[in-house]
A and B are shown apart, each in its own frame.
Chain A
Amino acid sequence: MADYEIHEHDVLVIGAGGAGLRAAIEASSMGVSVGLVCKSLLGKAHTVMAEGGVAAALANVDPKDGWETHFQDTMKGGKMLNNWRMAQLHAQEAPERVKELERWGAVFDRTKNGKILQRAFGGHTYKRLCHVGDRTGLEMIRTLQDRGVHQGIKVYMECCVSRLLKDGDKIAGAFGYYREDGRFVLFKAKAIVLATGGVGKSFTVTSNSWEYTGDGHALAYDAGADLIDMEFVQFHPTGMVWPPGVRGILVTEGVRGEGGILRNKDGERFMYKYLPESTKKDFAETDEEAKRWVDAALAGQQTDARRPPELSTRDNVARAIYQEVKAGRGSPHGGVFLDISYQDPERVKKKLPSMYHQFKDLADVDITAGPMEVGPTMHYIMGGVRVDAETAQTRVPGLFAAGECSGGMHGANRLGGNSLSDLIVFGKRAGAGAAEYAKKLEGKPTVSDDAVKAAQEEMEAPLSRPDGKNPYDIAKQLNQIMSTHVGIYREEKELEAGIAKLEELKEQVKHVGVKGNRAYNPGWHLCRDLRNMIICSEAIARSALSRKESRGAHSRLDYENTDDEVWGHVNSAISRDGDKMKLELTPKPEMPAELKALFQKKEPVNA
C-alpha cells in the first residue's frame, strides 16, 4: 500500500487564480474530468490583488476603439517582442471573455447608458479597462470560482505540486502534498495546465504574495519545457513605500487612470521630461491640457486634449520615479508623491475605495486630503513558459501553461489591464487545448514508481536535517541578490556577480533543513519554494546578462539603447541541459504582412 493518496483526472490544472479557474471551467465544459490544485484556499489567489481593470476593446466609452488598436498598443508596449499571434488573439477575444464574465454574474461598473464602464490606463490609447471600482480581480475570481463550483470541478485546496511526472516524453501526472497535514498525493493525469502565476518572492520589494515562487516556471523547466523572455521583469511604478510592513503593496494604476498626478519633493510634475520621443506626441504637454483630459474623463465626455504624462507605460514611469529618487528629489520615505486629493473626496472614495482604505488603515494617510507616497515594486514577470498561441501547449506533449507563468503574450513590457484579459483569453484556450489533447490521447500514460519515490524522498529530505540551514535565511539572501544585482537597472559586472552568488546559494539549498513535522509547516514549505525561486532567479539573471540592449522593462546601464537590428528579432530561451541551464536566442515569430501594415499606417488619434 502506497503511503500517498492517488487521484486520477483527464486534466489537472495547477493554480486556481484567474487563468487556472478559467482553464478548469473550459476543460470541464468539454466533458473531461478536471482536478484543480491550489496552494491556498480557493479564491485567495493573487488575482484578487489586481485592481485597475481588465483590458478589452469593447468601445463602450471610446467608440473608436477596436481590437486592432488594442493589438497595436500591446505590441508597442511590449516593444514588438511579443508573440504577435498571442497579442492578436488576446485583443480579438478579450471583449467576448469579459462579456462572458458578466453573463456568469460579474457586476462591472456601468456607463450612463447601462453598459460596462471603461477607464484609462497607461499605454492604452483609449479608455479600455472594464472595472469594478478598484477590486476588479476579486470580482473576476469570485465569478469564476462560483461558476466552477457549480460545474463539478474537483478542487484540492492548500495542496502543492512539487514535481511533474512523465511517461516517456509525455505528461503523466504530478506529485505533491497537502499543507494541512503534509500527506503526499499523486495525481495521474493525461494533460496538465500550469497556471501558477509569477516569481515575485525572489525580490525584496514586491507586490506579490507568498505564493509567487515561480512554481509553474520551475516545474515546466524541469519537465523539459523552455522559458522565454525571462529578463523582462516588470517593476510596477507605484507600490506603497511606507510603513515598512506594507512596503511593496500595490497602489493601482487606476489612481493615475483617474487623474492622479506624480510629483517630486519640489512639487515638480516630473513625468513630462521622461516621455520617450516616440510617444511624446500622444501625451499632454501642459498641466492645462492634462486637466482638460481628466475633466472630460470624469464627466464621461470626449475631448481633443491628450492624456496626462502619468499614463505612460509602466517601464517608463517606474524608471522615472527611480531616477527622481536617486537624484535626491524623492519623498521622505524614499518614493515620490502621487496625488488625487484635488478631486472631489466622495468620488475618490467611490472610484478607489480599496486605495482609500489601504492608505487610511495601514499608513494613516487620507488620500482624499493629501498625496500618497509611492515607489517601484516588483510586480510581474513577462517571461515564462513558451507556449503555442492557439492551444497554449508547451513543447512537452500534454503540458500547457496560461497566465503569468506563460511567456510571449506581453513581450518586453506588459500594459496594465492586459494581465486580467490574458488570464481569461488564454485560460480558456489552455483549458480547451488540454481537454482536446486528453480526449485524443490513446491509452493512459503511466507514472513510474521510481519517479514517485524520488519525489517523495526529495520532499522528506529537509525534515531529516533539523539542524540544517534556515530556509528563511536563504530566502533573505536570495531577495538581496536579486534586488541588488538584477533590479530595475542592470549591468554586466553586477549581473555576473549576482549569478556567481546564485550558484553559491544553489549549493547552500542542498543543506537546508527544518524542524517539526509535515503538518502545516511553513518552514518546510519554504524549502521546496526555494528550489523553484532559485531556478527562476537564475533564468532571469542569465537572460538579463545575455540581452545587451535596453528594451521595455529590461534596462542596461551599459547598453542604454534599444538595438532593433540585433535584439529586436530574438527571444531568449532558457532550457535545462542536464544540471546546467542552457540559454539560446531563438528567432521571434514573423508577423504576417496584414498585421505589419497596422504599424505603418498613420498613428491612431488619441482620445
Chain B
Amino acid sequence: MREALLKVFRGEKDNGEYVTYKVPIEEGMVVLDAIHYIQAMYDPNLAVRWNCKAAKCGSCSAEVNGRPSLMCKSRMDKFVDGEEITVQPIKSFPHVKDLVSDVSWNYRANEKIPAFTPAPDADWTFYQEDIDRVQEFRKCIECFLCQDVCHVIRDHDRKDFLGPRFMVRSAGLDMHPLDTVERAKFLKEEGGIGLCNITKCCTEVCPESIHITDNAIIPLKERVVDEFYDPIAKFLKSVFGNKK
C-alpha cells in the first residue's frame, strides 16, 4: 500500500515543531482523512478544526505545502509518491494549538458592518438577474483563507482593513436590490478599503471561486472613489442628490 509522509505542525501558541507521520493512502483520500488517521492511530491529542468534510462549512482551513487550502478538499493523489506533505495552521491569526488558529478577530470585524436595511415600503419583488451577483458573494463559507493570504492582514498586520471576506460581505449587502444603506464612507474609513492593492491573492485561494477582487472589491473601490474623490460626480450629486 502507498504511504504518505505528513509533516504536521504540533505545538501551542507558536511554540512547536513539525512531526512527521506515516499514513497509508486509500483511494480518494484527502489531507483531512490523513489528519483523522493520525488522531485515531497515533495521537488523539492532535488539534484540528473541521465540521462538514464536504467543503461547505469552511472550518478545516490550513496551509498545505504552503498553500492556503481546505484540508477536506486537498486530495492526497495530487502529491507524488514519497513527497513530504507539510500541514500547518493558517498564519495570519494567533496560533492556538497544532492546526488551530484563533480566528475570532474575523467575527469582531463582521460586527462592524452596517446591517442589511431594506426600504420600509419594499414589496419584495425582484428578479434573478438583479441578484445573480449578490448570490455569488453569499456563497462564501467563511473559511478565512482569503484573510489568511491577504498581504494587508498577513504581512502588514493591518487589522484596520476588514479583509477580503468582509469586502465580499459588504458588497453582497451593498448590491442587494432592496438595501438602502450607503456604505462608501464606512468602507473608506472603518473598512480600510484603500489599503487593498488588488494583488488578487484572495481570489486565487477562494474555494468557492468567488471573484473577490473583480466582482466585489473593485466595484466597491469605484463606489468610494465616486463618492469621495471624483469632482464631477461630487458636483452632480450636489445638484441631483445622492442616489444609491
Q: Are A520 and B56 in contact (CB under 8 A)?
A: no
Please state if B45 and A516 are interface contacts (CB–CB under 8 Å).
yes
**Contact assessment for B103 and A46 in the assembled complex, using a CB-CB cutoff below 8 Å:** no
Indicate if the CB atoms of A250 and B27 lie closer than 8 Å.
Answer: no
When distances are taken between beta carbons in the complex, the residues of chain B under 8 Å from A516 are 44-45
- A107 near B57: Cβ-Cβ < 8 Å: no
Once bound together, how far apart are the Cα atoms of A8 and B96, in whole Å? 27
Q: Tell whether A133 pairs with B111 under 8 Å between CB atoms, given A105-B116, A522-B44, A522-B46.
A: no
Contact assessment for A135 and B139 in the assembled complex, using a CB-CB cutoff below 8 Å: yes
Q: Please, which residue of chain A has its CB at the minimum distance from the CB of B26?
A: A244
B235 interfacial contact with A, CB 8 Å: no
Chain B positions within 8 Å of A146 at CB level: 110, 115-116
Q: Which of B33, B57, B107, B173 contacts A49 (CB 8 A)?
A: B57
Whether A358 sits at the interface, judged by CB under 8 Å, is yes
| A523 near B141: Cβ-Cβ < 8 Å | no
Q: Does B150 contact A (CB under 8 A)?
A: no
State whether the Cβ of A589 lies closer than 8 Å to any Cβ in chain B: no
Tell whether, in the assembled complex, residue A42 and residue B107 are in contact, meaning their CB atoms are under 8 Å apart: yes
Chain A 242-275, CB within 8 Å of chain B: the 1/0 string?
1111100110000000000000000000000000
A239 to chain B: closest CB distance in Å? 11
Distance of A34 Cα from B134 Cα, bound (Å): 31
Q: Knowing A48-B52, A471-B44 touch, does A41 contact B59 (C-beta < 8 A)?
A: yes
Contact A520 B98 (CB under 8 A): yes
B97 sits at the interface (CB 8 A): yes
For residues 24 through 60 of chain A, which have their beta carbon under 8 Å from a beta carbon of chain B? Answer: 40-46, 48-49
User: B46 touching A107 by the CB < 8 A rule?
Assistant: no
Please determine whether A104 and B44 come into contact, CB atoms closer than 8 angstroms: no
CB distance from B199 to the nearest CB of A (A): 25
Whether the pair A244, B27 counts as a contact (CB closer than 8 A) is yes
Q: How far is the CA of A116 from the CA of B141 in the complex (A)?
A: 23
Enumerate A350-388 residues with CB–CB distance to B below 8 Å: 353-354, 357-358, 361-363
B67 — which chain A residues lie within 8 A by C-beta?
none
B116 touches A104 (CB 8 A): yes
Q: In the complex, which of the residues B53, B126, B138 contacts A132, with contact meaning CB atoms closer than 8 Å?
A: B138
Contact A105 B176, beta carbon cutoff 8 Å: yes
Q: Please determine whether A209 and B53 come into contact, CB atoms closer than 8 angstroms.
A: yes
Contact indicator per residue, chain A 329-365, by CB within 8 Å of chain B (1) or not (0):
0000000000000000000000001100110011100
Q: Does A441 contact B (CB under 8 A)?
A: no
A419 within 8 A of B: no
Cβ of B28 and Cβ of A243 under 8 Å apart?
A: yes
The yes or no answer to B128 lying at the interface (CB within 8 A) is yes
B128 touches A523 (CB 8 A): no
Query: How far apart are the CA atoms of A244 and B30 in the complex, in Å?
Result: 10
Q: Is A115 an interface residue (CB 8 A)?
A: yes
Q: Which residue of chain A has the shortest Cβ distance to B97 in the bound complex?
A: A520
**A564 sits at the interface (CB 8 A):** no
Cβ–Cβ contact B139 & A357, under 8 A: no
Does the CB pair A114–B125 fall under 8 Å?
Answer: yes
CB distance from B124 to the nearest CB of A (A): 6
In the complex, what's the smallest C-beta–C-beta distance from A354 to chain B, in angstroms? 7
Is B51 at the interface (CB under 8 A from chain A)? yes
What's the dominant secondary structure at chain B's contact region? Answer: loop
Judge whether A102 is part of the interface by a CB distance below 8 angstroms. Answer: yes
Residue A515 CB within 8 A of the other chain: yes
Q: What is the CB-to-nearest-CB distance from B55 to chain A, in angstroms, rounded to a whole number? A: 7
Chain A residues lying within 8 Å of B172, measured Cβ to Cβ, are 107
Q: Kindly provide the distance from the CB of B28 to the nearest chain A CB, expressed in whole angstroms.
A: 2
Residues in chain B near residue A599, CB distance under 8 A: none
B residues less than 8 Å from A519 (CB atoms): 12, 47, 96-97
Q: Which residues of A contact B87 (CB under 8 A)?
A: none
Contact B51 A44 (CB under 8 A): yes
Are A48 and B73 in touch, CB under 8 angstroms?
no
Query: When chains A and B are docked, how far (Å) is the Cα of A499 from the Cα of B42?
Result: 30
Are the CB atoms of A243 and B27 closer together than 8 Å?
A: yes
Query: What residue of chain B has the Cβ atom nearest to residue A145's Cβ?
Result: B110
Write the chain A residue with the least CB distance to B30. A245
> When the two chains form their complex, are residues B44 and A363 in contact, meaning their CB atoms are under 8 A apart?
no
A209 and B135 form a contact (CB under 8 A): no
Q: How far is the CB of B190 from chain A (nearest CB, A)?
A: 15
Residues of A within 8 A of B45 (CB): 514-516, 521-523
List, in ascending order, chain A residues with CB within 8 A of B127's CB.
Answer: 110, 114
Is B48 located at the chain interface by the 8 A CB criterion?
Answer: yes
Interface residues on B, range: 35 or more
Q: Complex Cα distance A244/B115, Å?
A: 42
Chain B CB within 8 A of A456 CB: no
Interface mask (A118-144 → B, CB under 8 Å = 1, otherwise 0): 000000000000001101001100100
Residues of A within 8 A of B142 (CB): 43-44
Is B29 an interface residue, CB under 8 A from the partner? yes
Residue interface mask A220-245, B partner, CB < 8 A = 1: 00000000000000000000001111
| Inter-chain contact B124/A99, CB cutoff 8 Å | yes
> Once bound together, how far apart are the Cα atoms of A515 and B115, in whole Å?
45
Whether A522 contacts B29 by the Cβ 8 Å rule is no
A149 within 8 A of B: yes
Q: Is the CB of B52 within 8 A of A46?
A: yes
Identity of the chain A residue whose Cβ is nearest the Cβ of B102 in the assembled complex? A180
Is residue A580 contacting chain B, with contact meaning CB distance below 8 A? no
Chain A minimum-CB-distance residue to B33: A245
By a CB distance below 8 angstroms, the chain B residues around A115 are 125
- For A526, the closest partner residue in chain B by CB is B44
Q: Within the complex, what minimum Cβ distance (angstroms) separates A58 from chain B? A: 11
| CB closest residue in chain B, given A158 | B49
Q: Are B52 and A209 within 8 A (Cβ)?
A: yes
A114: chain B residues within 8 A (beta carbon): 125-127
Is B50 at the interface (CB under 8 A from chain A)? yes
Residue of chain B at shortest CB distance from A476: B40
Decide yes or no whether B54 CB sits under 8 A from chain A.
Answer: yes
B238 on interface, CB distance cutoff 8 Å: no
Chain B nearest CB, measured from A511 CB (Å)? 15
Could you tell me the distance between the alpha carbons of A409 and B126 in the complex, rounded to whole angstroms? 33
User: 0/1 per residue, A73-106, Cβ < 8 Å to B?
Assistant: 0000000000000000000000000010011110
Asked if A472 and B39 make an inter-chain contact with CB atoms under 8 angstroms apart, the answer reads yes
A sample of 14 cross-chain residue pairs with beta-carbon separation below 8 angstroms, ordered by A number, consists of A41-B107, A43-B142, A107-B135, A135-B139, A139-B138, A146-B115, A180-B102, A244-B26, A245-B26, A245-B33, A476-B40, A520-B96, A520-B97, A523-B45
With A105-B176, A354-B56, A526-B44 given, name 11 new contacts (CB 8 A).
A40-B59, A44-B57, A44-B58, A109-B128, A132-B138, A243-B26, A245-B33, A246-B28, A362-B28, A362-B54, A514-B44
A positions within 8 Å CB-CB of B: 40-46, 48-49, 99, 102-105, 107, 109-110, 113-115, 132-133, 135, 138-139, 142, 146-147, 149-150, 155, 157, 180, 209-211, 242-246, 249-250, 353-354, 357-358, 361-363, 470-472, 476, 514-516, 519-524, 526
- Chain B residues close to A by CB (< 8 Å): 12, 26-30, 32-33, 39-40, 43-59, 73, 75, 96-98, 100, 102-104, 107, 110-111, 115-116, 118, 124-128, 131, 134-135, 138-139, 141-142, 172-173, 176
Q: Across chains A and B, which 5 residue pairs bring their CB atoms closest together, nearest first?
A: A243-B28, A523-B44, A105-B116, A520-B47, A114-B125
